[in-house]
Amino acid sequence: MDSKFIALFRHAQERERPGFRQTFATHTAPAIISRVPGVRRLIANVLDLVQPPGGTVGQDPPYDVIVEIWTDDPDSASSLLAESGCVAVYRVSESIEKDVAYESDAPPRVKLFSFINPVSGLSDHEFRRHWDEHVQIALRVHVPCVQYVRHFVEASSAAGTARVRGVGMIAMRTEEDLRLRMFNSPLGQAEVVADTAEFVGNRQVAYATQRCDLRMT
C-alpha cells in the first residue's frame, strides 16, 4: 500500500522564488521522482494565485510549492527533506470525501490547503470525530467543490510542525469559484465558521494551482 506525503518547498533566495515556482513542474518535480525511492505519483501545487480569498494583491505566500507525493516507501520523508528547498514533510493518511473526474480540456484546478492545529487540549480522537462530523457541512456549503480530501498527519519532519494534526484540501475548477463562490450563502459561511471553531484552534491557509500530476506506469 502506498504512503502519502505532503512536502512544502520554498526557495532560499527571495528573488529566485518566482522562477522557482514557474519551473517547478517541468524541472524540479521530474528530478524529485528520479531521486526519491519508490515514487508512484506526484502532484505539484504552485502558490501562484494573484489574489486569494481574503488576501491582498501581491500578498506573498509562505511557501512556493505544496507537493502531494505517493510512494511505496514509508520512509521517504528523509529523502524528500534532502531535496533542495524542502522545508517540511508530513506523512499523512488521506480520506477522499469528494473527487470529480478531471476533464481532459479543463483548466488547472485551484486549491485551498489548510494546515490545521487543533483546539488546545483536544485529543486526536476528538479532533478526528469533529472533523468527521464537519464533512457533511463542507460538502453542502462548498457547492463548486470538485475535490475534498482530508489528511490526518501521522508524522512530521520539520521544526515547529508537531502540532499540525490535519491538512485539508478543497479544489475548485477556477479561481473565480474559489474566490467568489466558496460558500453557498452567508448563512452557510457562518455555519462553517461556527462548526470549525469546535476543533480548529488555528490554521495556516495556502492557495495554489495544480501544475502537474505525474504518474509512474
Delimit the domains of the chain by residue range. Answer: 3-215
pLDDT given at position 62: 78
Contact by Cβ (8 Å): 192, 136 = no
Contact by Cβ (8 Å): 85, 64 = yes
Contact by Cβ (8 Å): 15, 104 = no
- CATH code for the part of the protein at 3-215: 3.30.70.100
Contact by Cβ (8 Å): 8, 64 = no
DSSP string, 31-75: HHHHHSTTEEEEEEEE---SS-TT--TTPPPS-SEEEEEEES-TT
What is d(CA 45, CA 169) in angstroms, rounded to the nearest whole number?
A: 11
Report which of 119, 144, 114, 115 is spatially closest to residue 130, judged by C-alpha positions. Answer: 119
Q: What's 107's DSSP letter?
A: P
pLDDT given at position 161: 53
Strands 110-118 and 200-215: antiparallel
Q: What's 24's DSSP letter?
A: I
Split the chain (217 residues) into runs of 10 and give each run's mean pLDDT: 92 93 96 94 89 49 91 90 94 96 89 94 96 97 96 82 86 91 94 96 91 91
pLDDT given at position 67: 98
